[in-house]
Amino acid sequence: MRGLCYLYLSILTQVSSSTLKVIGFFGHNVTLPCTYDSQTHGVLSFCWGRETVPRFKCADTIVSSEDGAVLVRESPRYQLLGRVTAGDVSLTILDAQWSDAGVYGCRLEIPGWFNDEKVNTDLVMEEAPVEQPVTQDWTLTAAGTREILTISMTTNVDVGDPTLDISAVTTAEKFKAFLEVGNIGRAAAIFLSAIIIILVCVFRRRFLPKTTLQHPHTSTAENIYEVL
């Protein structure tokens, strides 16, 4: 008879239990969830232990609260950062260490026979992942200056400050050189044209008057011959 009662009590106490797995990173804060409906049950008493929740209370208690007031806190690293009066009694471990790995148990003491809720959480500690640098490149073109600006941004995750590596490649100098070559060609063409015009003017001044003077002599001689 006593064995049947023990079996019956074991079945009842196991009905409202659950098991979770949480992965925490070394040196970071990690939160173990445990919540209830405060609108239905009001503010409940609860406790956290470093072992699976036993049939009564908590084993190796690290935090306990009664009617919203914390009675036991094993270490200041164990914090209740949620709204306890609203049903969030999740346990946050600050600066988690390798030794924090293991099973944690949360018991919610709901009034009535065998109504307590039990949440067992297996905390697995891992090394924090190393974030890779992110590089982003942009190309900006200004039509007025004809400049091509390339900006390379590298984010340093450890320091937190971005480092900018800016290199500007301009085509203005090439364009200016091209204009200088064009100007030289234009200047040479203008110079040659001016020389040709000057030569034409000189030629006309020297040779046209003589031709104009020869015509009267020839015309007079012809008149004389005609008279004779």
Average pLDDT over residues 131-144: 58
Distance, CA of 47 to CA of 186 (rounded, Å): 94
Task: Specify the residue for token string 């026979």.
Answer: 113
Q: Full-prediction pTM beyond 0.85?
A: no
- How does pLDDT run across 117-126, given as a tens digit for each residue? 999 999 999 9
Give me the phi and psi of 17, to 5 degrees please. Answer: -105, 155
- How does pLDDT run across 151-203, given as a tens digit for each residue? 444 444 343 444 444 344 455 565 566 556 566 777 777 878 888 888 888 77
pLDDT value for 12: 46
pLDDT value for 135: 58
pLDDT value for 7: 44
Distance, CA of 79 to CA of 93 (rounded, Å): 6
